[in-house]
Amino acid sequence: MTRIGIIGGSGLTRLQALEVDHRELISTPYGDPSAPMLFGRLNGLEVAFLPRHGGNHQVPPHMVNYRANIWAFKEMGVERVVGMAAVGGISHAMAPGRLCVPDQIIDYTHGRKHTFYEQDLTSVIHIDFTEPYCDELRACLIEAGRRVGVDLVDRGTYGATQGPRLETRAEIQRMARDGCDVVGMTGMPEAALARELELCYANLSLVVNWAAGLGDGGPITMQEIERHLEDGMGRAVQVVSALQRDGRCQG
Ligand code: HPA
C-alpha cells in the first residue's frame, strides 16, 4: 500500500483528523522510534503518522531518535515522508503564521546520531545532498497549498540548531548572514537520514515566532509560540491532507 509518512512536530503530537486503523511500535536496529506509528486515513489520504517528540511531547529535539524514526518508515514500506516543524522566522518574508517549504539546509547541530553508515561498512559512503529535499514532494506540497488556498513560501533555507535553548541575537544575526530564512531544531539529521535510506522527504515549516532579537527585540515567549502553533498547524494539516487529490503525490 502506498502511504504518505507524516512526522508531526511541536503542536502536532496528535493528528485530530486522523482516523486510526491501527498503531504499531516498530523496533529498529537503532532502538525505538519516538512513539508507536499510527496508520490510518487523513481526509481519505492513507498515512503513517509519527509524533517526533513522542505521544506526550516529552522528547526534546536533541534527544529524538532520528535514526529509529526514519528507519521505521522505511521498514513499513513508506517511501514519501513529510517532516512538519515549528520554526522561528529570520528573513523578512518569514513572519509568524507563515508556512514554508524549504529547499535548502544549513546544519548547526552537533553530537547527534546523524548517519546509518557507521559500522560494518565495506567502503566509505558519501550521499549526494546538494538538494537536500525531494523536489517532487516539495512540488506536491506547494501545489496542494495552492489548491486549498493556503499561502506558502515555496523555498527557503532551514537552519538547524541544536537546542533545546533558543538562539542568541548574535547567533541569529550570523544565521541571517549565512542565508538562513528560518531556524528550527529538528530538520537535521532527519533530512540526511531520509536521503541515506533513499526516502523522498520534504519539510513543511510553520513560523511560530520571530527568531531571537528580531520582531520587537524582546524575549521570545511560549505564549506567542503556542498562539501561532494553534492557528497555524490547522493550515499545515490542510495542506498535507490535500496531497490526496493528486495520485502522483500519493506514494
Ligand atoms: N529557534 C529554534 N527553533 C525554533 C524556534 C526558534 O526561534 N521557534 C520554533 N522552533
CATH number for the domain spanning 176: value is 3.40.50.1580
The answer, yes or no, to whether any atom of ligand 1 lies below 6 A from the CB of 156, is no
The answer, yes or no, to whether any atom of ligand 1 lies below 6 A from the CB of 91, is no
Mean pLDDT for the chain? 93
| Band of pLDDT at residue 87, cut at 50, 70 and 90 | very high
**Within a domain: residue 29?**
yes
Mean pLDDT, rounded, for 193-219: 95
> How would you classify the pairing of strands 157-160 and 182-184?
parallel
Q: Provide the whole-model pTM.
A: 0.96
Q: What is the pLDDT of residue 119?
A: 79
**Within a domain: residue 222?**
yes
Residue 125 CA, ligand 1 centroid: distance in Å: 32
Q: What is the pLDDT of residue 1?
A: 56
The answer, yes or no, to whether any atom of ligand 1 lies below 6 A from the CB of 4, is no
Q: What is the pLDDT of residue 17?
A: 85
pLDDT by residue (tens digit) across 27-49? 999 999 999 999 999 988 999 99
Q: What is the pLDDT of residue 250?
A: 60
Structural domain count, the chain:
1
Q: What is the pLDDT of residue 12?
A: 82
**Within a domain: residue 212?**
yes
Mean pLDDT, rounded, for 60-89: 97
The answer, yes or no, to whether any atom of ligand 1 lies below 6 A from the CB of 161, is yes
| Band of pLDDT at residue 13, cut at 50, 70 and 90 | confident
pLDDT by residue (tens digit) across 100-156? 999 999 999 999 999 999 877 787 788 999 999 999 999 999 999 999 999 999 999
Supply the range of the domain harboring residue 70.
4-246
| CA-closest residue to ligand 1 atom 10 | 87
The answer, yes or no, to whether any atom of ligand 1 lies below 6 A from the CB of 166, is yes
Give whichever of 1-15, 157-171, 235-249 has the largest mean pLDDT.
157-171
**Within a domain: residue 138?**
yes
**Within a domain: residue 251?**
no
pLDDT by residue (tens digit) across 156-175? 999 999 999 999 999 999 99
Q: What is the pLDDT of residue 160?
A: 98
**Within a domain: residue 62?**
yes
